[in-house]
Structure 1
Amino acid sequence: MRSELRRLATRIRESLEHLVGGLGTACLATAALLWLIFVALTSVLGVGLLFGRTALRLQRFAADRERRRLSRWGDEILSPGPAPQRWRDAVADPVVRREWRWLLVHGTFGLLLGMLGLSLPINAVRDGTFPLWWRLLPPQEATSSLGFPVVHDAVGAFGVAALGVAWAAVVVGFFPALARAQASPGRRLLPPGADLDLSLRIAELTATRAAALDAHATELRRIERSLHDGTQNRLVGVTVLLGAARRALARDPATAGEILDRAQDAAEQALAELRTVARSILPPVLADRGLAGALDGLASACGVPCRVEVDVPGRCAAAVEATAYFVVAEALTNVAKHSSATGAAVTVRSRDDVLTIAVTDDGHGGADEDAGSGLTGIRRRIGALDGTLTLTSPPGGPTTLRVELPCGS
């Protein structure tokens, strides 16, 4: 029951975020639509031609903001690039014509849905708590959110509270549908043409392949450096000590024994470093305990209390599990070293052949990928698997690192 309520609350919260975010892009669409109409009308007099490029850039800016918003909540919608510079090119461009239709729909219908999504929760809270504070209002202003009826006694106040419950029921029952209706025009009208989409995808895959090769080369350099600077030096030391022990064996057996003890210690250290290098390539704990058990081990070793929730039916590819493991390991290391957090949470889920990893902490926030915190290495790892990384870390916290990895067969 508790988990169902939590899922319901999450769905309502996400729907509210969708609607409020859509309200922002709807305001942009309305402004772009009005400016386009003004430019079109004044072009008859020749004045609007001076502002044609500005109108087309504003239109593309509003449409791209909606593309980015929708991409955060579902399938990615790629931008077609810069707006055309001339009206003749714009009229001939099917993407621009679809954007005009989107401006008209989203700037009116989407704006209405966004305002409705913002006002319904406010009305639910206002009317639901009305019996607690209605006596503080002037007599003629003691009304429901609809502006009527005027309340004169407690019975009327509780009637307004019943209206608040009705608003809350509307929020629970219809918010997801409102969010889908608001996003529908953008999903239908804003994707680029098939040719452009294919060319952009080819460019994206080319960049991903380059990132994968770069990540592979970086990993090889790391392994080579670890073996050269650590294990190789240890083994050289073992060889030197064994030679010294052999020379001292005949003339001073006691000294030879001490040297052999030192050689044994050096050999054990070399073996330990070899095991460390091997674990950094593919941790054995993944094969022994699976992803859930491996992440539990990372959480138990973390410097701050950490909760782990894994919902992954079956096993993913070894490369995907290894990447997920290293992402969580690096993220928890950053939490312990940099965030001053008192708690962290790791959530891993698999849905529709996508492994989603979220690492959240309650620290001071302000994480910066360019500040040498290891986030660049994480992005390189997931880029090699065609994954995505999103970092949300406002000053004051909390910080959320979200990674999506394709894990389909």
Structure 2
Amino acid sequence: MKDGWGRRWLRDAGYLGVELGASVVSLGLFCVILVLLPLMLITGGVLLMPQAVQVLHRWSDVNRRRIGRRRGEELPPLARTLPRGSTIDERLRFAFSRATARDALWLTVHAFPVMWLSLLTLALPVSAVNTLAVTWYWQFAPADDPVGSPYPVTSWELAWTMPLVALGYAIAAAFLVPAVARLVAFVSAKLLATPARSRLAARVDALTLSRAAALDAHAAELRRIERDLHDGAQNRLVNVVMMLGIAERAQETGGDVGEPLRRAQDAAADALAGLRRTVHDIYPPILDELGLEGALASLAGRSVVPCALETAGVGRVPAAVESASYFVVAEALTNVNKYAAATRATVRVEREGELLLIAVEDDGVGGAVERPGGGLAGIRRRIEAFEGTLDVTSPAGGPTVLRTELPCGS
């Protein structure tokens, strides 16, 4: 059933009201960027401007979603973020990219023409109500300061013309509010729409960052494996060789070879266990045996902090995604057990279309901070290798919630 004219008009008026409020935010952001431009001559401006531009991109993406809902079409967000550890040149390229120029043009239009157009249009129905009320309250105004709407009302004869003026305002509002709402939405959509070429460039940038993250994750994994082999299995194998050498010399001299052989056997068993752990850390065999849900259930069962696992029809996903998900949960639960001082934890895993959503929550002390080389940084490195996202919320006093999204195919 279609909405009536009155309901559509109210919806258009509400939209203009939201646009008016949003344009005030755009005006504030415009002023901040304008103030930062002269500061680009010094180092502080170079550091601050990219941050302001990042806020601009986020604000424009918010409005893309809002305008898209209004027009019933999809306006893909830019989702441009400033990479960590960016050089000065990379920060400048980010701040003065073509995407930034498009968003800055939209911001200028939104902060000035849209704000005033929305304000003047919304003033029409308000003026109609006010003018109608003038018919009654003009008589209470001081003689030297009569009510004027749109001309001074100093007598009943002039007061009785006010309903006609109010009718004029109402007719203008009836036609202009929907028309201006459509115009504002159309102009905003045109300015916020990302050209196919820009979307392709953004996709290439995202793939480049994803490839770099994958290479970093691969290099870090190789370093970890080398460290585990060097500090673990290799040292134990050296002990085996030493013990066998001692046993050989003992045999030549007629001494007791039993003790060196037992120690060599123990060292060999330790080396074998270390190799098994290293292989397990490369790709846990339990994933092949039980699948992701079974492997995560095993992790939850081994957690020192009581952990509940909630899954919703995850099924099988690509092996690389299963492995990354397993290690994400394993690292998150390790952090909970070591640092959170929690009494319980919850792991939620669900699949939404082409995304695998993982959330790990605990009721601990909170205050988790991502540090270079730390567990959270390792999780982010794994996630970014798949073009996934990581969000950690950990206020002081808790709770701590770690959320990830991993593309997993259809």
TM band (smaller chain): 0.5 to 0.7
Aligned pairs for 1:111-130 within 5 A: none
Cα offset, 1:71, TM superposition: 9.7
User: Aligned AA for 2:23?
Assistant: A
Q: Which residue of 1 aligns with 2:57?
A: 64
Cα offset, 1:78, TM superposition: 3.0
Aligned pairs for 1:367-406 within 5 A: 367-370=368-371, 373-406=374-407
1:277 corresponds to 2:278: yes
Cα offset, 1:313, TM superposition: 3.7
Is 1:339–1:364's contact at 8 Å kept on the other side of the alignment? Answer: yes
Cα offset, 1:82, TM superposition: 4.5
User: Aligned AA for 1:30?
Assistant: V
Q: Deviations over 1:275-314 (max 9, x none)?
A: 0100010011111111111111111111211111112443
User: Aligned AA for 2:327?
Assistant: F
Q: Using the alignment, how far apart are the partners of 2:369 and 2:283 within structure 1?
A: 28
Cα offset, 1:60, TM superposition: 7.2
Q: Deviations over 1:124-160 (max 9, x none)?
A: xxxxxxxxxxxxxxxxxxxxxxxxxxxxxxxxxxxxx
Q: Using the alignment, how far apart are the partners of 2:64 and 2:358 within structure 1?
A: 17
Q: Which residue of 2 aligns with 1:358?
A: 359
Q: Using the alignment, how far apart are the partners of 2:391 and 2:59 within structure 1?
A: 18
User: For residues 51 and 360 of structure 1, do their structure 2 counterparts lie closer, same or farther at Cα, with a shift above 3 Å needed?
Assistant: closer
Cα offset, 1:250, TM superposition: 5.0
Aligned pairs for 1:26-37 within 5 A: 27-32=21-26
Is 1:77–1:191's contact at 8 Å kept on the other side of the alignment? Answer: no
Cα offset, 1:77, TM superposition: 3.2
Q: Which residue of 2 aligns with 1:314?
A: 315
Q: Using the alignment, how far apart are the partners of 1:250 and 1:35 within structure 2?
A: 86
User: Aligned AA for 1:240?
Assistant: M
Q: Which residue of 2 aligns with 1:136?
A: none
Task: Classify the secondary structure of the residue corresponding to 2:311.
Answer: strand
User: For residues 235 and 251 of structure 1, do their structure 2 counterparts lie closer, same or farther at Cα, with a shift above 3 Å needed?
Assistant: same
Aligned pairs for 1:8-407 within 5 A: 27-32=21-26, 64-67=57-60, 69=62, 76-79=77-80, 82=95, 98=106, 104=114, 190-252=192-254, 255-370=256-371, 373-407=374-408
Q: How many residues align?
A: 292
User: For residues 224 and 284 of structure 1, do their structure 2 counterparts lie closer, same or farther at Cα, with a shift above 3 Å needed?
Assistant: same
What stretches of structure 2 of length at least 5 have no aligned partner? 1-16, 39-48, 67-73, 82-93, 123-184
User: For residues 69 and 370 of structure 1, do their structure 2 counterparts lie closer, same or farther at Cα, with a shift above 3 Å needed?
Assistant: farther
Task: Classify the secondary structure of the residue corresponding to 2:245.
Answer: helix
User: Aligned AA for 1:208?
Assistant: S
User: For residues 24 and 321 of structure 1, do their structure 2 counterparts lie closer, same or farther at Cα, with a shift above 3 Å needed?
Assistant: farther
Cα offset, 1:243, TM superposition: 2.4
Task: Classify the secondary structure of the residue corresponding to 1:355.
Answer: strand
User: For residues 192 and 216 of structure 1, do their structure 2 counterparts lie closer, same or farther at Cα, with a shift above 3 Å needed?
Assistant: same
Is 1:348–1:358's contact at 8 Å kept on the other side of the alignment? Answer: yes
Q: Using the alignment, how far apart are the partners of 2:58 and 2:276 within structure 1?
A: 49
Is 2:293–2:314's contact at 8 Å kept on the other side of the alignment? Answer: no
Larger radius of gyration: 2
Task: Classify the secondary structure of the residue corresponding to 2:257.
Answer: helix
Percent identity between the aligned chains?
A: 46
Q: Which residue of 2 aligns with 1:3?
A: none
Q: Deviations over 1:88-147 (max 9, x none)?
A: xx9xx7655655676649x979xx9xxxxxxxxxxxxxxxxxxxxxxxxxxxxxxxxxxx
User: For residues 349 and 228 of structure 1, do their structure 2 counterparts lie closer, same or farther at Cα, with a shift above 3 Å needed?
Assistant: same
Q: Using the alignment, how far apart are the partners of 2:366 and 2:19 within structure 1?
A: 27
Cα offset, 1:69, TM superposition: 4.9
Is 2:342–2:363's contact at 8 Å kept on the other side of the alignment? Answer: yes
User: Aligned AA for 1:64?
Assistant: H
Task: Classify the secondary structure of the residue corresponding to 2:366.
Answer: coil
User: Aligned AA for 2:24?
Assistant: T
Q: Deviations over 1:210-252 (max 9, x none)?
A: 1111111111111111111211111121122122212322543
Q: Using the alignment, how far apart are the partners of 1:61 and 1:222 within structure 2?
A: 34
Q: Which residue of 2 aligns with 1:141?
A: none
User: Aligned AA for 1:32?
Assistant: S
User: For residues 60 and 224 of structure 1, do their structure 2 counterparts lie closer, same or farther at Cα, with a shift above 3 Å needed?
Assistant: closer
Cα offset, 1:373, TM superposition: 4.0
Is 1:215–1:381's contact at 8 Å kept on the other side of the alignment? Answer: yes
Q: Which residue of 1 aligns with 2:156?
A: none
Is 1:99–1:190's contact at 8 Å kept on the other side of the alignment? Answer: no
Cα offset, 1:79, TM superposition: 4.9
Q: Using the alignment, how far apart are the partners of 1:34 and 1:242 within structure 2?
A: 77
Q: Using the alignment, how far apart are the partners of 1:285 and 1:99 within structure 2?
A: 53
Cα offset, 1:323, TM superposition: 0.5
User: Aligned AA for 2:305?
Assistant: V
Task: Classify the secondary structure of the residue corresponding to 1:370.
Answer: coil
User: For residues 62 and 238 of structure 1, do their structure 2 counterparts lie closer, same or farther at Cα, with a shift above 3 Å needed?
Assistant: closer
Cα offset, 1:64, TM superposition: 3.1
Task: Classify the secondary structure of the residue corresponding to 2:397.
Answer: coil
What stretches of structure 1 of length at least 5 have no aligned partner? 1-22, 40-49, 113-182
Please report the TM-score for the alignment, with normalisation by the length of structure 2.
0.60
Please report the TM-score for the alignment, with normalisation by the length of structure 1.
0.61
Task: Classify the secondary structure of the residue corresponding to 1:367.
Answer: coil
Q: Using the alignment, how far apart are the partners of 1:186 and 1:84 within structure 2?
A: 20
Q: Using the alignment, how far apart are the partners of 2:220 and 2:380 within structure 1?
A: 13
Q: Which moved more, 1:368-377 or 1:346-355?
A: 368-377
Is 2:217–2:382's contact at 8 Å kept on the other side of the alignment? Answer: yes
Is 1:70–1:77's contact at 8 Å kept on the other side of the alignment? Answer: no
Task: Classify the secondary structure of the residue corresponding to 1:78.
Answer: coil
